[in-house]
Amino acid sequence: MDQNKKVAVFVETSCDYGRRILAGVAEYLRTNLNWTVFLEQNDLNARPHDWILSNQWDGILCRQTDPVIANILISSGIPLVDLNDQHQIPALSRVGSDHNAIGMMGAQYLKNKGFRHFAYCGFSDELWSRTRKEGFEKTLAESGSLIHLWESPWTDRSADYWTNDIIQIRHWIKNLPKPIGIMAANDTRALHLIQACNQIGIVIPEQVAVIGVDDEEMFCELVSPRLSSIRPDCERIGFQAAELLDQMMSGSASSVKRIVIPPRGIIIRPSTDIGAVSDSLVVKAIRLFRITDSARCDINNVARELNVSTEMLEKRFRRTLNCSCADFIRSI
């Protein structure tokens, strides 16, 4: 007789976040081989109502849990571990990222970079974004820092919607004090920030440092400069969710549990890989070094373009960045 547990796994495969959760589930199953897993490819907006009820499951792992699905599954009595980040459903056991800790980590990182001005760019209708913002604000409020904020709903993901958002973000960034460190709610929002800065000639990271969240590698490598990002511990989320579901199916976990997993750390890339720069001459020189072709990219040409002596430019570079112009050119 087949003693394996039939487990439905409804986790999006369309992004790194979901795939890394699945990697954690797979890690658990390597030493716990009593599951038969059903998984289909989907994105985070897929609706699992009919799919979940189409079979007799022993347990379910679900990222797309909303109140409607929760009520259906609670009435069915099927053990369920909730993995969603958008809805608070007290009746369900849940494993997920510590979004407050993510915001705190982003704030502390930008603070350590020497920035004195800070901003958060997020989504007004997403619980995970608001919670990350709260952690960001809490950390910086302790030092009396003022937080600049820009948010919009994430209800429409069309190209026209994003284009309009970027136009508004351009106006917002243009009026912010500089240099400034900005945390984006996720890597998608960070792409909007970088595009907006590039369109209006703001230098990243010297004038505006941008850090995202989720470490979606395709997004982080797609933009220029490449994006620094906080990496949630999705693998641990998947592992602990699978472990908890196993306990629930065996009857050894009867009470509702809420498990939050702290982020793994920050993957540093060029969008934050320098401290705050307040010297306007150095900022202008950096911009020229970055846009000038390699054959003409040297201190003499840039100093001539800025109408200053090479000695002055070199002195200001060393004082501001603690490196020579030649060192900076090699770094880019």
pLDDT in tens, 1-49: 357 899 999 998 888 999 999 999 999 999 877 898 988 777 666 666 6
* Beta carbons of 47 and 17 less than 8 angstroms apart: no
pLDDT tens digits, 84-137? 999 989 999 999 999 999 999 999 999 988 888 999 999 999 999 999 999 999
Residue 131 three-state SS: helix
Higher per-residue confidence, 239 vs 156: 239
Share of the chain above pLDDT 90, in %: 54
Q: Average pLDDT in the 215-233 region?
A: 93
Q: What crossing angle do the helices spanning 280-291 and 310-321 adopt, rounded to 10°?
A: 100
51, pLDDT greater than 90? no
Q: What long-range pairs does 241-244 form, CB within 8 A, spacing at least 24? A: 241/21, 241/24, 241/25, 241/61, 241/81, 241/83, 241/95, 242/24, 242/25, 242/28, 242/29, 242/32, 242/61, 243/28, 243/32, 244/81, 244/93, 244/95
> What pTM does this model have?
0.84
What pLDDT does 1 receive? Answer: 38
pLDDT reported for residue 210: 97
Coil, strand or helix at 205: coil
Contact 215, 16 (CB under 8 A): yes
Highest mean predicted confidence (pLDDT) among 61-65, 165-169, 292-296: 165-169
Average pLDDT of the residues of the chain? 88
At 281 the pLDDT is 87
Q: 29 vs 74, which has greater pLDDT?
A: 29
Q: Which residue has the higher pLDDT, 284 or 226?
A: 226
Counting residues of the chain whose pLDDT is more than 70, the rounded percentage is 93
What average pLDDT score do residues 235-250 get?
Answer: 95
CA–CA separation, 118 and 230 (whole Å): 17
Q: What is the pLDDT of residue 144?
A: 86
Report whether pLDDT(160) > 80: no
CB atoms within 10 A of CB 68: 11
Whether residue 194 is predicted with pLDDT greater than 90 in this model: the reply is: yes
DSSP class of 122:
E
Higher pLDDT, 242 or 279: 242
The pLDDT confidence band at residue 277, using thresholds 50, 70 and 90, is confident
Helix (H) or strand (E) holding 139: helix 127-141
